[in-house]
Amino acid sequence: MSPADVGPDRARRPESGEPRPLRLPAFRPVQAPGGLNARLAARDELPEVSLRLVLEAGAAAEPSGAAGLAELTGRLLTEGAGSRDAVAMARWLDRLGAGFEVSVSYDVAVLSTHLLSDVLDEAVEFLAAVTRDARFDGEEFERLRSERLDEISRELDEPAIVADHALISAIYADGLYGRPIRGTDASIRRVDDEMVRDFHSRRYAPDGALLLACGDVSVHTLTESLGRHFGGWTGSCEREPAPSVPASPATRAAMILIDRPGSPQSELRVGTVGVPHGTEDHYAIIVANAILGGLFNSRINMNLREDKGWTYGARSFFRFRRGAGPFVTKTAVETAATGPALEETLAEIARMREEPPGEEELLLAKHALTLSLPLQFETPAQVTSRVSRQLIFDLPADYWEAYRGRIDAITPEEVRDVCRRYLSEDRLVLLAVTDADAVEAEVERFGEVERRDSPSGP
Amino acid sequence: MANIDPNGAPVGFPFEDHRLDNGMRVILHQDRSTPIVAVHVMYHVGSKDERAGLTGFAHLFEHLLFQGSEHVPREGHFKHIQDAGGTLNGSTWFDRTNYYETLPSNELDLALWLESDRMGFFRAGITQEKLDNQREVVKNERRQSYENRPYGLAFETVLESAYPERHPYRHPTIGYMPDLEEASLEDVHGFFDRHYGPNNAVLVLAGDIEPAAALGRVEHWFADIPPRPVPDRVSVPSALDRGERRATIDDQVQVPRVYLMFHSPPFDDPGFEAADVLTFLLGDGKSSRLHNALVYEQQVAAEVHAFTWPTEKVGMFFVVATARPGVTAEALETAARDVIRDLRSGSIRAEEMEGALNRARRSLVGQLNAVGGRADAFAHAVTLRDDPGYVNSVFGRYASLTGEAVTGLADEILRSDRLTAVHVVPRAGTDQVADGS
């Protein structure tokens, strides 16, 4: 202890030190075949690399009636490519020890690889093989399709997933965002291996795709590797236009009740049509959601959990996509609290519309959003993920540099105004997966109730 | 800078190991690549230290430590950390309870103020009202994460079957509903006094710090918290003499799931790394033994996983397989045990072993690439192994494993007299789905 140290002053929050500036990763272009837009942010703290290949092969590109085709195509990439069958591909990847994952969203398909830098060249070779030369053998197709149908059926056992799917379907009906990415039982049965091959040949193309790399690799090494394994890859792929979505939820019911007899809890959702990425309201919406339900200290969590003790947690989010993704609040409460919990959630949303947030609450939200930036750019996988979103959604090149200033500029009135614009009471759909007999009388106060039987129960 | 030799040699994350006069262990790890710091406090107490009839108490107590202390108002902890741009949480396990935040490095004092206040000045902050509120939150956590989730009660059934009455590992960390009702303010104070002294804790700082200056700040905030007597460690009898145990429960599910648990080496045992590599060999990746046989070849399982828990006193090695429609739990268990039998009696191909080690190594780097994960690893290494250097030496220990060592370990632990098998089957009346083909 230094002589000047007279012991800690515990009565107040300690002063903040001088912040050390965050240097955002600088991506440099890397030469790549076929018009592939490749970029690298080199860093060598650890011998690891994150590669993220973004393709215009999301669910938005599916032909009508073939929901789940994009996701199934992504899953099949590793089940045989070039001269290797599914078993040989699995052995190859597992010998490298690299993590490989395909994630398909409504907008794009993302092939992400996490690897140790000593296997970089072979990992790029693997990535090129699955991207270019996937075989889609009929037998493997049938196997994965059958697995997929089982999964869709097993999801009916999970009340949280049943609630999520029922909500988007109530909001968007048959539109793109109304169906789950992985498809439905009926749509998956309609998909065949020829459709997969066709989808792959049209959508997996270098021109229009994006490859982001971050980690312990040089521009020179990555350029050589890409040239060696992606050389000769050609083709181009246009973006699908953003889907048009309804201005308000499609359903006419105010309250959807899905019966799951004997449930100890109710899975509750409140939702509506939100906004696309990058509208003029973008930053005000982010701040508004942080106040309403984006943080632990947000209003609905403080109310339903810390004040009432009805739940383990409650939160809300806007899903920003190329089109207007949903706004959702999400919680699971003890069954007896179903009616009151919905009422409190609606009351919190109403308060957001009625009055601007107080100064302290607004500052907390802004700080949580902006001072946390260093934590969001720590690992290579975080870096490629954040920067890929910037490119997928055509955000400005200085999006992250300017983020803090834009968030800080939001006024209390702007927060209230976006809530008035997007969260008016008549646009909100309520949904519960629960013991319907136990709560039906409780929820009639919210308007017209549509009751459905349990999707899997007796 | 922190580098891991690609060959797995034990070089890596530099650290300093200190102990304050009050007995608190302090680990300091500098990595200045991002201006953030992870602050992690781990107390050597968990659900195995709970007294009979108060299961779930260690975890309920963890919730209460976020409810304010003498100088920090209720909700202040979350509020201050979020206002600084940080993230925070806590968790409870059989053997330890931890509290951690990662935040911009210029806010190190904030985290130390908050952690020292709840370590030294908790008593004045707790009230009956807070206890009752968090009791309800925890009951809802149990409903959400266990009771209202398919297969959610399987793990507690495994524990109840594997261990005898009163065994410290027999009950789940979340606890049982009637016991949660029992917890009183008196229990809260007693538990705090027994287990939350500085001499029963390790504090890890990982990230953008200057070690000498950081140690000064740690002394500043923690040195005046007096040590307290630490109770004797609870004694944990082996359950190896119980032989094979079995249980079947039903649930609101459409297909059966099989849980096979084998008594295995705990975290500080020399066999732990071999058991961990065995999980990669058996269940990680599509070429792994169980995945290839059950999911790909025979198509009897929708998914299969193998993992081992890094517990302190008794180890648990799990194989968990979910059936395809039309496959019984019995058939699925037989198929999994055939794979296990082949592994025990056969050998491992060189390429297979190389892959398992590569996956284990990459997975380790993935756990350690953020300062939060590194702080967690140091805290576990100190608390459960008394060896912070394990965070670095673990790479060499994996690299030196041979295929024979792994099959030898498999032969030793994957035996029916070490097995607890739990089948979760569809409840009568739940619709069975037709075969999808």
What does the pLDDT look like over B67-95, one tens digit per residue?
999 999 998 999 999 999 999 999 999 99
Closest CA to B121 of A10, A15, A12, A13: A10
Would the pLDDT of B110 be above 50? yes
pLDDT on residue A7: 81
Give the distance from residue B160's alpha carbon to the nearest chain A alpha carbon, in angstroms: 22
d(CA A82, CA A135): 7
Residue labelled with tokens 């959508």: A203
Q: Find where tokens 């996983």 sit.
A: B305
Q: Is A4 on the interface with B (CB under 8 A)?
A: no
Query: What is the predicted pLDDT for the residue at A5?
Result: 59
Alpha carbon of B53: minimum distance to chain A alpha carbons (Å): 23
Residue in A210, A219, A167 with CA at minimum distance from that of residue A385: A210
Query: What tokens were used for B88?
Result: 């925070």
Non-local (6+) Cβ contacts of A358 within 8 A are A412
Q: In degrees rounded to 5, what are phi and psi of residue A109? A: -110, 135
Partner-chain contact A116 B358, CB within 8 Å:
yes
Is residue A81 less than 8 Å (CB to CB) from chain B?
Answer: no
Q: Which residues pair with A355 in a beta bridge?
A: none
- Which tens digit of pLDDT belongs to each residue from B120-150? 999 988 999 999 999 999 999 999 999 999 9
pLDDT of residue B12: 87
Average pLDDT along chain B:
94
Check residue B433 and give its pLDDT. Answer: 45
First-to-final CA distance of chain B? 55
> Is B31 in contact with A15 (Cβ distance < 8 A)?
no
Of B80, B109, B433, the CB nearest to A153: B433
A265 interfaces chain B, CB cutoff of 8 Å: yes
Q: Is A302 in Cβ contact with B106 (below 8 Å)?
A: no
- List all residues 6 or more positions away from B436 whose beta carbon is below 8 Å from its beta carbon: A146, A149, A150, A153, B325
Chain A residue with CA closest to B74: the answer is A306
Residues of B in contact with A161 (CB under 8 A): none
Whole-number pLDDT of residue A105: 97
Contacts with A376 from chain B: Cβ below 8 Å: none
DSSP A356: P
Q: Is the pLDDT of residue B3 over 90?
A: no
Which of A155-184 are b and which e, b meaning 16 or more Cβ less than 10 Å from the residue's Cβ? bbbbbbbbbbbbbbbbbbeebbbbbbbbbb
Interface test with A, best of B252, B367, B424 (most A CBs within 10 A): B252
Q: In this predicted structure, what is the pLDDT of residue B434?
A: 40
Nearest chain B residue to A150 by CA: give it. B436
What tokens were used for A436? 């319907």
pLDDT tens-place string over residues B271-300: 999 999 999 999 999 999 999 999 999 999
Choose among A47, A153, A363: nearest Cβ to B6.
A47
B10 has pLDDT over 80: no
Q: Does the structure show a pLDDT above 60 at A387? A: yes
Residue appearing with tokens 């004797």: B232
pLDDT of residue B428: 85
CB pairs under 8 A between A and B: 262
Tell me how many degrees the CA angle A230-A144-A78 measures, rounded to the nearest 5: 20
State residue A64's pLDDT score.
87
For the stretch B51-61, pLDDT in tens is 999 999 999 99
Q: A364 and B288 in contact by Cβ < 8 A?
A: no
Instruction: Find, among B86, B240, B171, the residue nearest to A295 by Cα.
Output: B86
Which of B7, B31, B36, B109 to mutate: most A Cβ within 10 Å?
Answer: B36
Strand ranges, E, within B229-388? 245-251, 257-264, 301-309, 315-323
Q: Which residues 44-73 in chain B show a CB within 8 A of chain A?
A: 70-71
Test the B interface: residue of A157, A192, A302, A333 with most B CBs within 10 Å? A157
Q: Which of B189, B287, B182, B171 is nearest to B234 (CA)?
A: B171
pLDDT of residue B430: 54
**pLDDT of A456 over the 70 cut:** no
Give the contacts of A69 (CB within 8 A, at least 6 positions apart): A59, A62, A63, A183, A187, A191, A195, A196, A199
Question: pLDDT value at position B9?
Answer: 43
Query: At which residue do the structure tokens 């909700």 appear?
Result: B75
Cα angle B281, B285, B290 (rounded to 5 degrees) comes to 55
Gap between the Cα atoms of A168 and A269, Å rounded: 10
Residue with tokens 């806590």: B90
A58, A106 contact by CB (below 8 A) = yes
Residues A256-303: pLDDT tens digits? 999 999 999 999 999 999 999 989 999 999 999 999 999 999 999 999
pLDDT band at A23 (very low <50, low <70, confident <90, very high): confident
> Do A456 and B80 lie within an 8 Å CB cutoff?
no
Region A426-445: what's the mean pLDDT?
A: 96
pLDDT value of residue A426: 94
pLDDT single digits (tens) A334-372 = 999 999 999 999 999 999 999 999 999 999 999 999 999
How far apart, in whole angstroms, are the C-alpha atoms of residue A372 and residue B83?
A: 9
One-character DSSP codes across A267-322? EEEEEEE---TT-TTHHHHHHHHIIIIISTTSHHHIIIIIIT--EEEEEEEE---S
CB B175 within 8 A of CB B46: no
What percent of chain A has pLDDT above 90? Answer: 93
Q: How far apart are CA A278 and CA A366, in angstroms?
A: 18
Taking an 8 Å cut-off on Cβ atoms, the answer to whether B78 and A297 are in contact is yes
Across the interface, of B35, B140, B361, the residue whose CB is closest to A310 is B140
Task: Read off the pLDDT of residues A78-117 as tens digits, 9 standing for 90 and up.
Answer: 999 999 999 999 999 999 999 999 999 999 999 999 999 9
Strand partners, B261: B318, B420
* Alpha carbons A50 and A382: distance in angstroms, whole number: 9
Give residues with Cβ within 8 angstroms of B231, minimum separation 6. Answer: B194, B195
What is the arithmetic mean of pLDDT over B191-215? 98
What is the pLDDT averaged over residues B417-437? 74
Q: What angle do CA B84, B63, B152 make, to 5 degrees?
A: 115
- Residue A1: the pLDDT is 45
Contact assignment for A375 to B362 by CB distance below 8 Å:
no
Please check whether residue B308 touches A, CB under 8 A.
Answer: no
Q: What is the C-alpha to C-alpha distance for residues A375 and B35, in angstroms, rounded to an integer?
A: 8
Contact B140 A10 (CB under 8 A): no
Contact B234, B44 (CB under 8 A): no
How far lies A84's CA from each of A75, A89, B93, B338, in Å? 16, 6, 44, 27
ipTM value of the model? 0.94
CB atoms A48 and B71 under 8 Å: no
**Interface mutation target, options A15, A95, A188, A214, chain B, most CBs of B under 10 Å:** A95
